[in-house]
Structures are given as structure tokens and as C-alpha cells.
Structure 1
């Protein structure tokens, strides 16, 4: 069985996403692993807020996010033959864990911001992924 790395990025923080992908690419290269890159969009569709958006907005966002992931992979890892790109909609930590199962990843890589005075623990999504993931999780301080 070959290794499979899943790296979850936040496209609203592209510098951090580049760092995470670059480091995960190094790990995957070292291990001869398959690499999947993912992002999670929040699901506002069924909420009151969702009623203020025109129909199809979320689908457009998914297509844009997928294009952004492909662009990020090409920019950061231009020599890598294939990076699987995944866009999910929902709660970040739940979708990352579910995606790791779907792609049969054996390693998840996520980022965590340096804590400030208000936050002395691991970020809520990274912390939940660490606690609930069925596979190894690497948290990179970004």
C-alpha cells in the first residue's frame, strides 16, 4: 500500500496555503506518496443567510475553489505529475475527516496559526481533526 497525504487549506489565506502545500509536497515526495489537496467551503445554503444569495452561488463558489486549488498546485508543485483537488461544502473538520476516508489517506496535514493572547490552544478545526481523525495528523504552525 502506498502512502497518501491529504492537505487541507484555507483559500482565504493563500500564503499559508502555499506553505502547507509546499511542506506536504516534500513529505509526499520523500515517501513516494499520492497527494490530495482540499478546501472546505461553509454551507450557508439551508440557513437564513442562504436565502439572500441567488440560486447557483454555492455551485459557482465550488467551481472557483476547484480552479484555485488546481492553480495553487501548479504554482507550488509544478513538477509533480498529479495532485488530486477536492472541494467539499460543510463543517471544515468533518469534511476533512470524511475526505480522508474517501481517498483512503493515511496522513492528514493541516495548519494552525500562532496563538495570540486570546487563543492558547490549537485552533478549533485543527484540534478537532487531531482528536477525531482515524489517521496520523501533522499540524504545521503557520
Structure 2
């Protein structure tokens, strides 16, 4: 039995949210699992571009991401469902944060989207591929 289904969404691609969230909701519903949704924003301080942002830029970005995450979930699944979902906003490297979150919430399934491949990453996008390779649980990849 699945305890938690972790869904990873990229807020910069809202056109894929509905497919990913509705599929994850169905998968969680089949096992009576709870749903947790994570989004990851880049860690501003870890790169050379971090010096170009104000000190509170990262805090503001995290707050805006949390607001956007609630809006995305409510827009796709409805406000009543949004109240029953754990919302997680992380910052750092996407695949590392997704994997860490999966461990923290005890996920037994990760649902993640993958863009259509180009020549460099023919089978999966780089983040989805790393999540698939390194996850300790099953991973359900949804092609967009």
C-alpha cells in the first residue's frame, strides 16, 4: 500500500500541471494514499548570478512559489482538494530536492513530468532521468 504519493511539478510549465496532478491524484486514490506536491526553485546563492539579486530575493521567490503552487493545485484539482494536499517548496537542484523530499515524506511513489526529448537527452529530461535512477521508490513518469 502506498502511504504518500509525491508529485513534482515545475511552476514554469503550467500547461503540464493538469495532466501530472490529475494522474497523481488518481494513483493516490487507488491506494488511499496522501498526496504531497513539491516544486523546486533554483538556489540563488549557490551560483555566480546570486550576487546580482538582493538579499531577500530568495525569500520572496520562495513565498511567490508557495502562492503559485497553491494556485496551480486549486486550479487543477479544486480548492477542496488543495486543503488535503501537502505543499512543499524547496530550493536547490531539482532532482536532489525531489529525492530528499521523497525520503522525508516517506513516499512510495514519485510522479514526475518529462518533456519531449531533444537529441541531448533522448529518453528523459535530465532531472526526471536522475530521479528515476536514484529514487528509493517507484517513479511514474508522465510525458508532456
TM range (shorter): over 0.9
> Tell me, which stretches of 5 or more residues in structure 1 are unaligned?
none
Give the corresponding residue for 1:43.
43
Match runs of 1:55-70 below 5 Å = 55-70=55-70
Higher fraction of helix: 2
Give the corresponding residue for 1:7.
7
Report SS of the residue matched to 2:68. helix
Match runs of 1:1-142 below 5 Å = 3-78=3-78, 79-80=80-81, 81-142=83-144
TM-score (norm 2): 0.92
> Tell me, which stretches of 5 or more residues in structure 2 are unaligned?
none
Shift of 1:32: 1.1
Shift of 1:140: 0.6
> Please, what is the CA RMSD of the aligned residues?
1.5
Report SS of the residue matched to 1:109. strand
TM-score (norm 1): 0.93
